[in-house]
Amino acid sequence: MTTFATLAAVLVFPSLMIYVGLMDLTSMQIRNWLICLLVASYAVLAPLAGIGLQEMGLSVVVGAAVLVVAFVFFGFGWIGGGDAKLASVTALWLGADHTLVYLLYAAVLGGGLTIGLLMFRTVMIPLSWHRQK
């Protein structure tokens, strides 16, 4: 059962994250049901994959801490609410050992993406691309 659950986790988490990323890219929204599905998947698959209660508990604490900090960032308008929820559930899945590295990569790559989008917004769009009413 452990091997099957580990395989399921290796398939479920990346698949859902790709779906969430595509949804966020196309609609700028991260649906709550996807976050709930990620949490429920972790709750079911982690113990079946052999992750102990102590390690799961530490992952929950780290995920909750990320959620608190991320919602402070949301309160300042620095990130979106969906991004805050997604960061915390990602921290839950990655565990305490990998969360800091994940957050550093997310900050650097997200900052680069933000700078790129801001630079793109300064480019004039050709008149032929404007919508005709």
- Round to whole Å and give the CA distance between 26 and 41: 24
Structure-token pair, residue 73: 């960032």
Residues 52, 70: contact at Cβ < 8 Å? Answer: no
Return the pLDDT at 129: 75
Return the pLDDT at 56: 95
- Round to whole Å and give the CA distance between 52 and 54: 5
**Model confidence over 43-84: pLDDT tens digits?**
999 999 889 999 999 999 999 999 999 999 999 998 999 999
Return the pLDDT at 6: 83
Q: Tell me the C-alpha to C-alpha distance, in Å, between residue 15 and each of 3, 11, 83, 120.
A: 18, 6, 17, 29
Residues 30, 85: contact at Cβ < 8 Å? Answer: yes
Name which of 83, 74, 90, 85 is nearest 110 in CA terms: 83
Return the pLDDT at 5: 78
Structure-token pair, residue 96: 């305490």
pLDDT band at 133 (very low <50, low <70, confident <90, very high): low
Task: Identify which has the larger pLDDT, 87 or 125.
Answer: 87
